[in-house]
């Protein structure tokens, strides 16, 4: 019995010794994950359209001035690049260099869009009676990445790709803009300038999306994945309007951040689950899934959260960027 105990301790110690250097090495590399999304009746003009997703950087650096990450991004031939939030590591952080160095090094920014995450600085400031973009957003846009506020329409040979802000799109124009639907209320969200400006965005978005026979692709962007219980709530509450999205693209979960072989993710920050996200269903943590006819793709992202200080790393969870290709089904 004593011999068995010694053997177990030896094996565990050896595993720890091997896992530590592997984890350090693994956290410093980046892989490209590719996914095909089949859309029934997709037009020839939109067939093979590619979206590159960059998510949850959390101020992490991959080489000097992000060279390793920039090389990975520039190696991909894409039509649209999306930054799905948590580029920064705290709403009060001023360490913009990791994100801005990345943007500066990217070659293709013809169609580049950003949605804020829960650890990003405010996108707006209130000046008198006006709502203006924050300095963080202004500097980002000067570098070629645009804040996605409501809707962007891109045309490919007469066919439309509509990129929309998910949280705004589920509101009904007749009810007006409210701030209760999102996970984290942004700064200034209760001020009159903020509400009036976003009510105007809501009216414009609803008018565009309510046009009958709107063909093409509709892709909704959100930092937070839209969990099954929340989809049920949106579908079953007349106050909201869950639209006919071809795909929802999100981040936030980090794929569980800490993953174990054969077990998968130990935890994701998902308050819509009854257990608060502990031992979540592994087919709802990352990648592509479909629920109630809605396809959703969730990236594990690049960085790690410091919500629990001593677990501020990724385990068996290589940082990734994601290439989503639309295929005619």
* Alpha-carbon gap, residue 305 to 58, rounded angstroms: 7
CATH code for the domain of 97: 3.60.21.10
Number of structural domains in the chain: 1
* CA neighbours closer than 13 Å in the CB half-sphere of residue 198: 25
pLDDT at residue 15 above 60? no
3-state SS track over the chain = CHHHHHHHHHHHHHHHHHHHHHHHHHHCCCEEEEEEEEECCCCCCCCCCEEEEECCCCCCCCCHHHHHHHHHHHCCCCCEEEECCCCCCCCCCCCCHHHHHHHHHCCCCCCEEECCCCCCCCCEEEECCEEEECHHHHHHHHCCCEECCCEEEEEECCEEEEEEEHHHHCECHHHCCCCCCCCCCCCCCCCHHHHHHHHHHHHHHHHHHCCCCCCCEEEEECCCCCCHHHHHHHHHCCCECCCCCCEEEECCCHHHCEEECCCEECECCCCCCCCCCECCCHHHCCEEEEECCEEEEECCCCCCCCCCHHHCCCECCCCEEEEEEEEEC
pLDDT at residue 155 above 80? yes
Per the model's pLDDT, the better-predicted residue between 74 and 189 turns out to be 74
Contact 125, 153 (CB under 8 A): no
* Alpha-carbon gap, residue 270 to 278, rounded angstroms: 9
The pLDDT tens digits of the residues spanning 237-278 come to: 888 999 999 999 999 999 999 998 889 999 999 999 988 899
* Alpha-carbon gap, residue 198 to 214, rounded angstroms: 23
**Which of these, 119, 114, 90, 92, lies nearest to 103 by C-alpha position?**
114
CA distance from start to end of the chain: 60
The answer to whether the Cα torsion of 322, 149, 85, 294 is positive or negative is negative
**Which of these, 30, 27, 31, 47, lies nearest to 39 by C-alpha position?**
47
pLDDT at 179: 74
Range in 50-64, 173-187, 207-221 the model is least confident about: 173-187
Beta carbons within 8 Å of 233's beta carbon, 6+ residues apart: 240
Range in 125-129, 223-227, 249-253 the model is least confident about: 125-129
Phi, psi of 260 (to 5 degrees): -120, 145
User: In the predicted model, what is the mean pLDDT of residues 21-30?
Assistant: 92
pLDDT at 202: 93
| Residue 217: domain span | 2-328
Tokens coding 184: 């984290």
The answer to whether the Cα torsion of 257, 263, 264, 270 is positive or negative is negative
**What pTM did the predictor assign?**
0.93
Angle between helices 97-105 and 67-74 (to 10 degrees): 40
pLDDT at residue 61 above 50? yes
pLDDT at 10: 47
**Which of these, 300, 262, 266, lies nearest to 35 by C-alpha position?**
300
Beta carbons within 8 Å of 128's beta carbon, 6+ residues apart: none
Q: What angle do CA 138, 141, 145 make, to 5 degrees?
A: 150
Contact 140, 114 (CB under 8 A): yes
Contact 60, 303 (CB under 8 A): yes
| Percent of residues, the chain, with pLDDT higher than 70 | 91
Q: Cα 240 to the chain's mean position, in Å? A: 22
């Amino acid at each position: 019995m004593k011999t068995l105990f010694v053997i177990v301790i030896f094996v565990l110690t050896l595993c720890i010794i091997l896992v530590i250097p592997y984890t350090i090495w693994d956290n410093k590399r980046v892989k490209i994950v590719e996914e095909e999304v089949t859309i029934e009746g997709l037009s020839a003009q939109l067939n093979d359209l590619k979206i590159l997703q960059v998510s949850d950087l959390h101020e992490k650096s991959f080489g000097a001035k992000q060279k390793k990450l920039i090389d990975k991004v520039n190696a991909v031939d894409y039509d649209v690049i999306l930054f799905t939030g948590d580029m920064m590591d705290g709403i009060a952080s001023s360490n913009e260099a990791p994100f801005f160095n990345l943007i500066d090094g990217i070659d293709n920014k013809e169609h580049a869009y950003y949605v804020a995450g829960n650890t990003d600085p405010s996108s707006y400031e209130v000046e008198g009676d006006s709502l203006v973009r924050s300095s963080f957003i202004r500097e980002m846009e000067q570098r070629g990445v645009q804040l996605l506020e409501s809707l962007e329409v891109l045309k490919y040979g007469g066919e439309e790709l509509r990129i929309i802000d998910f949280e705004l799109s589920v509101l009904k124009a007749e009810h007006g803009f409210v701030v209760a639907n999102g996970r984290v209320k942004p700064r200034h969200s209760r001020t009159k300038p903020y509400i009036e400006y976003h009510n105007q965005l809501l009216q414009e978005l609803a008018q565009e999306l309510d046009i009958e026979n709107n063909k093409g692709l509709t892709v909704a962007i959100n930092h937070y994945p839209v969990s099954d219980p929340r989809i049920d709530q949106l579908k079953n509450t007349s106050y909201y309007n869950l639209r006919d999205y071809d795909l929802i693209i999100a981040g936030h979960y980090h794929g569980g951040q800490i993953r174990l072989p054969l077990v998968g993710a130990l935890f994701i920050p998902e308050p819509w689950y009854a257990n608060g996200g502990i031992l979540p269903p592994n087919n709802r943590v990352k990648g592509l899934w479909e629920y109630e006819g809605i396809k959703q793709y969730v990236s594990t992202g690049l960085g790690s959260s410091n919500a629990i200080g001593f677990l501020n790393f990724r385990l068996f969870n290589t940082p990734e960027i994601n290439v989503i290709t639309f295929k005619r089904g």
